[in-house]
Amino acid sequence: MASITVRPDNGRLLVLFSYCPERVAKIKTVPGRLWHGPEKYWSVPNDADMLARLRVLFEGDRIEHPGTPAPSLRPEHAGDAILDKVRSAIRTRHFSPHTESAYIAWTRRLLERTDRPLEELGEIEVSRFLSDLAEVAHVSASTQNQALNALLFAFEHGLGRKLGLVSGVVRAKRPERLPVVLSKDEVRHVLDGMHGIPRLMAMLL
């Protein structure tokens, strides 16, 4: 796990990490980011939720920030009692091991993102979490939907209460799908560009 240092400076947050193309690509997605060439560090706006957004963006890396507990200092298995209930409910319903792993992972990510027990969370926190997946982590629509389903399941079967309407979520963009077959006009256009034996063979297909 790599370490990323984040500290306030003159109204901005300095972001320092060892060079890695993947991390550079991620930091470039942050609006208002600046690269300070001579000093070799990045800075981002010191918005109210910027630190939380950086934690989502650099998931898997350790964020070091003065005045806030480092992720490694939090209980490694926070919320285990609730997660055990979620696992039990999943296995009772004979969901696949892949689904179990994904649902537990999404619940853990929400707990790490908010640094609060699941009992204190609700529709607002879930909405923000899902929006960050789209805006910061740039996940696909199917991944965002999986996260929503996992959290709905965790609240209902881990806490025993259903979430209300999770509104205001920034939806992830669905990829544009290309047609799998050519239309009649497209086939005619291709044939018009062929000549001789290749054209004859294509027309016989």
What pLDDT, in 10s, does the model give residues 10-20? Answer: 889 999 998 88
| CA dist., res. 167 & res. 152, Å (int) | 13
pTM score, whole prediction: 0.53
Which is more confident, 197 or 28? 28
What's at 163, amino acid-wise? L
| CA dist., res. 159 & res. 51, Å (int) | 28
What are the structural domains, with CATH classification, of the chain? 3-73 (3.40.1170), 75-200 (1.10.150.130)
Q: Please report, for residues 20, 24, 40, 60, 72, the alpha-carbon distance to residue 2 in angstroms, rounded to integers and kept in the order given.
A: 10, 14, 17, 8, 12
Tens of pLDDT, residues 113-122: 888 888 889 9
Cβ neighbours around 79 below 10 Å, total: 20
Q: What is the pLDDT of residue 73?
A: 34
Q: Please report, for residues 78, 115, 116, the alpha-carbon distance to residue 74 in angstroms, rounded to integers and kept in the order given.
A: 8, 8, 11
- pLDDT of residue 192 exceeding 80, the answer is yes
| CA dist., res. 34 & res. 41, Å (int) | 9
β-bridge pairing 3-9 and 62-64: parallel
- pLDDT of residue 125 exceeding 90, the answer is yes
Q: What is the pLDDT of residue 72?
A: 38
Runs of H (alpha helix) within 93-158: 97-114, 123-135, 141-154
For residue 104 the two structure tokens come to 């537990």
**Polymer length of the chain:** 205
Q: Please report, for residues 41, 52, 60, the alpha-carbon distance to residue 15 in angstroms, rounded to integers and kept in the order given.
A: 6, 13, 16
Tens of pLDDT, residues 39-89: 888 999 988 778 888 888 888 788 888 755 444 334 444 468 888 999 999
Which is more confident, 191 or 35? 35
